[in-house]
Structure 1
């Protein structure tokens, strides 16, 4: 989980860092103007994959068995897709096209003066994050079925357990654990309604156990 979180965080951080610097020159006696682009300007896949990686942490905790393997496989595929996005975004022709497309509207007739310069830290962080996602995803595919799952305490089909509370503190502890202390309580529903007790302590037969009395003849 820590490796997966680190990989997703690296992708998100790399997407906001400066990746490339270009020089634009305009007609006339105007000095070239620098243009800087971030990883998000070059490709929007890194941010999406980073957030998906963080969501995969919760999915691995909540899922079980085959579902965990499926989530791990998706995480690994996302890391591989991030590697492909970094490779495609750092090609020279891609950098040149990105600088031109992101500055044409603002600079009017300006043109790229020279080949854009790539800054290494941003792409390196993205590659490291993608590799961590691939490693964490493949590890989850192999080992996830052996990991402990979340408890069934709050499952809808989890039957309440019968417990007997000896003291008031035991009663509160059983309630906190999700047990039902009334299932085996003396005089509860489980003991039946064979007898009824009046206010003076005299036991009377229940209505179901009383024999039918004949009607009086006129």
Structure 2
């Protein structure tokens, strides 16, 4: 399955009602990664679009906020890039790992700094400390946080070896290659969802494929 699932499309379009309908019917795996969109899950899309209620709903139905894209971005990274403070608050309230570094060592807070979202940066400064405290507490209780994406970990070494220079330059270099992410997806009629691929750019600076 290389194309976006209906769940991915609904989340990308910000359609809470349709996301809810799909989840209730169990039509799609909420943790499915779309390889044509850099391994994004529906939760990544909802976070990028600032859909706090959809983010909460997806997690309630089993979506894992620790899953990463091909360069290691979690939903928190997408929310930070877009300046979606409400989504960051929601993720934090649900004990999502919001301090996870990506392939380049950048956390969601660093992404927020790069894009100038000062309110997000301020929130994440405190949230990161609280997240780590919760992590330690849960480990002591023998109930560690769900924060390991095994699929990502298996790819990480290969990606790092393929692009060793990326580890030195990080997000700043990626951002200099082009403009900010612009999701051009618009809401179609509910009677026929158009493919989001036909309405949005193939890759964006924050989530582009690992190619020189």
After TM superposition, the score normalised by the length of structure 2 is 0.20
Q: Which has the larger radius of gyration?
A: 1
After TM superposition, the score normalised by the length of structure 1 is 0.20
Work out which structure has the larger RCO, using CA pairs closer than 8 Å and 6 or more positions apart in sequence: 1
